[in-house]
Amino acid sequence: MGQGHSHRAGRDLDDGVEVGRGTRIALLAGLGVALVAAVVGIVVWWPSAEASDALDRGAVRYAAPGVTFPIGELTAVAPPCDDAGLPEGCGTLTVDVGDEAGSGEDGDVVVPVPKEVSESGLEPGDRVELLRTPTEGGAAAYSYFATDRDTTLTWLALLFLLVVVAVARWRGVLALVGLAAGGAVVWWFMLPALLHGAPGIGVALAGSTAIMFVVLYTTHGVSLRTSTALAGTLVGIALTSGLGLVAIDRAHLTGISDESGAILSTFATSLDFQSLLGCALVIAGLGVLNDVTITQASAIWELRAAAPHASRAQLFASGMRIGRDHIASTIYTIVFAYVGTSLLVLMLLQVYDRPLVELLSTEELAEEIVRTLTTSIGLVLAVPATTLLAAVVVRGPVAAEDASLSRPEGSMPAAP
């Protein structure tokens, strides 16, 4: 993984900053050990075909036998019933199911819906998904299940792809490839492994390591600069994992804080939900962790190119000045991301007749606090770790008379 192999932006920078043979070997050897450990973990915890078949044949069903989910077109939307003076039949949707159910029952069906569905802006021509339950009398019973949002989600996804490619160009395409690979690791390895009882932290370390190898090298190119950022990322993942285990144990969190966890616990009684929470902590911090480590590695490479005679201590100090600004902005990102996703919960706390301090220890809030603080601590510690690694990996200072000869074309001259 030499410096000259990168085909991304920054190739000149990678080529222009030398790396000692010893540090190169140590860095790549460490990453090799991490990669082998991740592959071994994936192989060991990959669910067998027999175990997967046994789970598929289990008693867990999304709906009762015979229940189907036909999609029909709205022909009428009645206003909600809590408005004064509305006629009978308010708060309903009239849906043309055609023969979607495969039963020969053509025509319209009328289904009641909650007030929020009536007020969501549905209009004739929109499509909704119904739940069709067969009855002994022959005529099926229908109820509202969900609004069909496939069209909106599709054009929004296409717009996202278009914007990413138009703005980031080839780098954006590679980022999307890395994102797809990461999603594949989560869906095809991590989730099945967790469902079959593999240790949460082990799965998190193996899966996250594999994801970061693919994402970083795909998006930022194969170079020692990227390898340094990857090493810093793995350090941050390890710190987050260890701290998460301690925090979950000391806070006595159960790992079940919402309806989804409660439902899953009834179907998979052998799952260790505290271990699953530890896995969730690691996954939650991956994206932001990757962001800060690649920034710090690139900063040190830029600083070394601009100041060839600066000592490693000076590089580290300069890199940390950049890192502190990045830490501050990233902490805001983490906290406000939580606020945005948990807005309704926070609003509910506003109406409770109890002091906020007394509610912090509830399972739901305590879990999110532990998740936010643990990932933030791992993120913050990854900044000096990556900066130190990068300062050690790049070459040492050169004599002042050789600085102009070693500086790559187009780089900034060293500050006096």
pLDDT digits (tens, 9 = 90+) for 173-211: 999 999 999 999 999 999 999 988 899 999 999 999 999
| Residue 90: domain span | 71-147
Last residue of one domain, picked from the residues 132, 147, 162: 147
Q: What pLDDT is attached to residue 22?
A: 87
In a shared domain, residues 133 and 168: no
Degrees (nearest 5) of the Cα angle 169, 173, 179? 140
In a shared domain, residues 141 and 160: no
A 10 A CB-CB count for 98 gives 14
pLDDT digits (tens, 9 = 90+) for 115-130: 899 889 999 999 999 9
Whether 13 is in a domain gets the answer: yes
Q: What pLDDT is attached to residue 52?
A: 56
Whether 65 is in a domain gets the answer: no
Last residue of one domain, picked from the residues 147, 174, 189: 147
In a shared domain, residues 171 and 27: yes
The CA-to-CA distance between both ends of the chain, in Å, stands at 34
In a shared domain, residues 162 and 129: no
pLDDT digits (tens, 9 = 90+) for 350-369: 887 777 787 888 888 898 88
pTM for the whole structure: 0.82
Whether 55 is in a domain gets the answer: no
In a shared domain, residues 35 and 182: yes
In a shared domain, residues 288 and 402: yes
Phi, psi of 19 (to 5 degrees): -130, 135
In a shared domain, residues 80 and 43: no
Stretch 221-227: mean pLDDT: 92
Range in 67-76, 96-105, 149-158 with the lowest mean pLDDT: 96-105
Q: Which of 366, 365, 360, 294 is nearest to 330 (CA)?
A: 294
pLDDT digits (tens, 9 = 90+) for 305-363: 888 889 999 999 999 999 998 888 888 888 888 888 888 888 887 887 777 787 888 88
Last residue of one domain, picked from the residues 147, 176, 203: 147
> What CA–CA distance (Å, rounded) separates 383 from 292?
7
Q: What pLDDT is attached to residue 259?
A: 79
Above pLDDT 90, what percent of the chain? Answer: 51
In a shared domain, residues 10 and 134: no
